[in-house]
Each structure stands twice: as structure tokens, then as C-alpha cells.
Structure 1
Amino acid sequence: MEPGSVENLSIVYRSHDFLVVNKHWDVRIDSKTWRETLTLQKQLRHCFPELADPDTCYGFRFCHQLDFSTSGALCVALNKAAAGDAYRCFKERRVTKAYLALVRGHIQESQVTISYAIGKNSTEGRAHTMCIEGTQGCENPKPSLTELVVLEHGLYAGDPVSKVLLKPLTGRTHQLRVHCGALGHPVVGDLTYGQPAGRESQPFRMMLHAFYLRVPTRAECVEACTPDPFLPALDTCWSPHTLLQPLDPLIQALRAAPDPNPMDEGPGHSQPPPPCTKPLETEAQSTSCLQWLSEWTLEPDK
């Protein structure tokens, strides 16, 4: 994946209501700071000016977040109704996400379930970062769950590294980075949760990529799988030597897996409405949706 430019925007899914883009690393979704010469919002406005919505702050309704340094699949709703449908999927935890990463060290287990609770870090000098329960300064830790599958062992710039598939089952801020660090295998190139200062100078980016995304909205199933960026042909510093789990069968399993069950809404509401039906949205639901869609813009840049 080439470095980002305003013209260089990869679309991996497109319909009347949604786009899924393959976001570049080190590109913010948007920014109010004039110094940011390149953002995803600017890329979208340049490539799809006809799709920009003047009723939104940034022209496009981003359905979820990716950290500044994370690349990969990001869903964009093209109208208010589609944004509301996506909001319900995220709220009900019906979205399936999987990430690829290169992490420090050779993980010996083939699969690991990481269940450290995650909270905000109140330690001086660590503002806007997260930490696991039991560490100093950890405030309001919440249950967090990540499934990890080891794909390959190898070397990155001569250091032992594992290539892994990560499936977050909860959606805490910086969850995958915090969980990998807590496991003792931080993401390669992670300057916040990785190795001590000065030890991450070799990687040109943080090696975390949103690989697969499925958002089963009422009208359509938004599903996208992005190209694998962690290949020796794309980065000669990465040299795998032991294959533990092929990626293709895992992709097939992701595609074949049923969507996570929606949260229990009481008797008579255990099943989602049939596809392609769109009940009218109440004013309260609309307000809740708009609040949810705007909340992430209030968070500090990551």
C-alpha cells in the first residue's frame, strides 16, 4: 500500500448507501487543525465530491473509528438513514471485525484469548492513553475481549516477530494495541504501547491493519476484505520463516460465520427485522444516532 495522497484512495466496497475505504496508515479521519494537509475526509471530498453531504460537519458520515496509525477497512455511510442502520449494528454488537498485525516476539500458543479489562490511564504524562486493570492510574476499567490467532513466525529487521489475526469482541479505545502490549507482544511500530523510546525507529509505520469488516444492516450486508499489507514483497524488513496457520481458511471462516447475536431486547424482539425493511425512526432514536455519530469527533487525535 503506497503512502497516502489526496488522489490515492482505495475503495473496497461501494453501494448506494455505503463506502468502505482502505484507509492509509498515518492519515487522520478528519482534523480541524490547518496543519493537517491530508485527511480521509479530504480524500473523499476530492474523489467523490458529488457524495459529500452539506448537512454534516465533515461532508461524510464515518460509521466508526480507526486510530491515526492504523490502516484498513473503514465504513462510510452516504446518508442519514444508512448511518442510523450502521449505528444500530454497532450498538447491538452485531459487527464483525478482524485485524492483521505484526507483534514483537514469537508467540508460542497457536491461539490466545486476551481478556484484560481496559480503562483510562490517569498517570501524569500518559493522558489520552489506556491501560489494563491493576496497573497504576487505571480508571474505570471495563471488560474487554480479543481473540488472537498466530499466522506466522519470522523476523522484522532481524528481530523476532509474529504475524497474527486479531478479532476484537469488544470495542474499547486502543483495545488491540493495549491487549497485545499487556500480553508482552506489542505491535511493531507502536510508539505509545510498544518498546521503550528509541527502540521503534526501524518500522516506517505501526503494523496494525483493519483487514475484514462486516456490518449487517437492515437493508444490506456491508462486507469488505482488504489486501494484506504485511507481505515480504511489500516490506523487505519482514521475513517470515514458519507458517503456523494459513490466512485463506480464516477468511473463509469469517465470511461463513453467523453475525453476532444482537443484544437482548426482551420478549418478541430476539430476531432482527427481515432484510430490506426500514421502520420509521423515532425522534429519540434519531437524536441518539446523531449524538453517537458526533461523539468520536470530540475525542483527541490519536
Structure 2
Amino acid sequence: MSTVATPSSRAQKRQGSYWLYLVPLVAGFLAVVGAPFAMNVYISLFHWKGGQAPLRWAGLENYATLLTDDTFWRSFQNSIYMIVAITVIPTIIGILLAALLFDYLGRRYGDKAIAMLRTTYYLPQILPIAVAGFIWSTILNTQQGSLNMMLKGIGVQSPPDWLGDPNIAIYSVMLMLVWLQIGYPVVIFMAALQRVDPELYEAAELDGAGWWRRFQAITIPQIRPEIFVVVLTATIAALKVFAPILILTGGGPENSTVVPSYYAYRNFFELSRVGYGSTIATVMSVVIFVVAAGMLGWQHRENRKEHR
């Protein structure tokens, strides 16, 4: 006696087959993220100098040490500066530039001019970080740097030591990071504005709305999802920043520019405190996860409010 598959059973089979497409994703996640993170947590529970050195059980001692480590808290504080330089300032400037290019300059000079400007803003993003670091180390050089030469040219007798003064080194690094990051939000927001109905701008202009009013009432609300994506990804990148610090300052002078990722690297490879370096990496991984989950949760609540 043959049985006939009902529509509901066929739908269940199709739905079950969809999960098979997640298998490669899950396997890749476990291999690239899950297993290394679990190993990192395991190592953080030991004192280990690396290599063939023996593992000595530490329990939560490394975490207790971290809570009273002034250098770690200094690095954590510097992460706030990194967020300002990579997320806050570039996002604000990026929104303004994208709106200006799309709604004002694009009408006057055409698409080719805007494409050239957009490419110019994005150019630092495609430079190797080593090249960007060399450029900025040359610009900020105390003796022969182009910035100090310009300052001397306008009468400044003792220009700052941009990378050697503990009071201003972090701001010099921030300047480079803003320059590096500015093209990312500009390109994302320009792409987002392409999907905005031009009639909205035309109707607002006919009603007498100026550029700033159109920016507030149309541009910001229409590209809000892209703003969230930029803020989320840039914030995660800021909490993980490493290469610019390594190239420009090496965390100095006097730990004034050290960040958690570089501090973990220093403990791993310079101080041979692999267990403690794993502790720093574990804590920062949890911080990044909490920040990302919090931002995604907030975005989900905002979307639900909008659809009510």
C-alpha cells in the first residue's frame, strides 16, 4: 500500500534540507573561531612560557592579576580613544561627506567627479598598513617630518614630538586612524543613498527645504541601517586594533598608546607570559562579544518599534 506525501510533510523535508547548507558554516566557525577560542581559554588557566616549557596550573590567578594590572587598564582606556578615532569621527564625517557628494556636488559636477572623489577618500583603505604606517611615521617625524617642517615654516620654533611625547602620542595615532578609516563609511553611505528615491529630495527642495534640512529629514532616516552596520563593524575593529600601534609607537612612549591586542601580543612573544597573554585575549574576546550582542539587541528592538 503506497502512501502519498502531504504538502506539510514535503514542506518539512524541504525545511530540513535547508539546514544542511549551514553545515559548512558551522564547521568553519568551529575550526576557525570556536576551537582556537576554547584553547585560548584553556591556556589562560595556566602559567606557561611557551614552546616546550611545562604548563603550571594557575586557575583564575591570571584573571585576578589582570584586575589589578595598571597597564591593562591603561590599554583598555586607550580602546576608547580607538573607538573615537575609528568609529565616531569617521562615521560623522562620512555621513556629511556622503550626503554632500550625493545631494549637492553630484548635481553640480556629475557622477564622474563624484566617483573620483569617492575613490580618493577610499584610497587609504586599500593601502597596506605597513605603507600607511611608513607614510605617517615620515609625516610625524620630529626632525624631518613634513608636519613639523611646515610648522617651522610658519614660525613655530619648537614643534611637538608627535610620537615621542606621552601626552600627545595617542592623538597622533588617532589622526592616522581617522585618515585610514574615513573612506569606509563614505563608500557605504554613498551606496546606501543610491537606493533612496530621488523624488524625496526633489519634493523637499520644492517645499523650500535647504541642504541641512534634507540631510536631517531624509538622508539620516533613510540610511539608518547602513549607519548601524558601519558603527558595529568599526567598533569591533577599534577594539581589535593592533598593526597601527605596532608600526607607529610599539605601545610607547611610557605605555601611552598601548592597546589590549598589543599588550596581549607583548605578553605572548616578548615577555613569554603566554598564559597571561591568553587571559587578556580571552577577556577582550568576551568584551567584543558583549558589545556586539548589545548593539545587535538594541537594533532589533528599534526595528520592532518601527514596525509596530
Task: With the length of structure 2 as denominator, give the TM-score of the two structures.
Answer: 0.24
**Bigger share in helix:** 2
Structure number with greater CO (CA < 8 Å, separation at least 6) is 2
Task: With the length of structure 1 as denominator, give the TM-score of the two structures.
Answer: 0.25
**Bigger share in strand:** 1
For the pair shown, the structure with the greater C-alpha radius of gyration is 2
